[in-house]
Amino acid sequence: MPSRSTVRPTSSAPTGRRPKGPPSTIVAVKPVSERGRAELIRDVVDAYRRLYGSVQRFVLMLTGDQLNFASVGTSGSHSLNQLLSILAEQARTAAFARLRDLKASIEEARSAEQVRDAIFSDALSNDLAALRKVVAELERLDTAFVGLCVGHVLDQHARTTGGTTPAVVRRAAGRTIAAVPATASVTVSAAASTTITQRKSRAERTLVHPND
């Protein structure tokens, strides 16, 4: 009986080697909208940290640096609402001249933690316009506290030296939270910082935010 030949498949590739394929690492490129969202979320976090730091420095100014806080700008040993309660109590003790305006700012700022937490909401964290509003609101609150703090320091210094507070700085520091636009933060801080640096070194620590 004639034998049948068997055809076996052969491979041109050497044993143990894999044929060339697509690269093993694939990098996903974020669309522009995603990059914008990430930047806005970062802006929300930064604005909240600045607000927290301003309130903390306000408290330290009223207490003469007697309270022991964690580093400014961190979550610290107190929540923002706890700091606001301490600020209200210390302001009453110190006979703060614009106590009514300060109380109004404190009440509005009590919602800041909830406003910040918008970044954890699926609906709001994907709404760029809503995130911008959150940033603007936190900056507005920060500006209000900076203005009140600066005004108090300048008034105290003026009474001590028998002088008067410059009108332009007094007007800037005298703006209430309802009247301060979000874009005014840099203007108020810069004007007040220049005057305080010339008059009182301690006031400079009260105004200037730490570098994050």
Q: What is the pLDDT of residues 108-130, one digit of tens each?
A: 999 999 999 988 888 888 899 99
Q: What is the DSSP letter of 65?
A: S
CA atoms within 13 A on the CB side of 3: 3
Whole-number Å distance between alpha carbons of 2 and 160: 122
Whole-number Å distance between alpha carbons of 49 and 75: 8
CA atoms within 13 A on the CB side of 53: 19
For residue 207, pLDDT beyond 50? no
Sequence-distant (6+) residues with CB within 8 A of 212 are 46, 49, 73
Whole-number Å distance between alpha carbons of 51 and 149: 13
Contact 151, 99 (CB under 8 A): no
Average pLDDT over residues 55-65: 89
For residue 210, pLDDT beyond 70? no
So what's the pLDDT on residue 1?
A: 53
List the structure tokens of 14.
């050497």
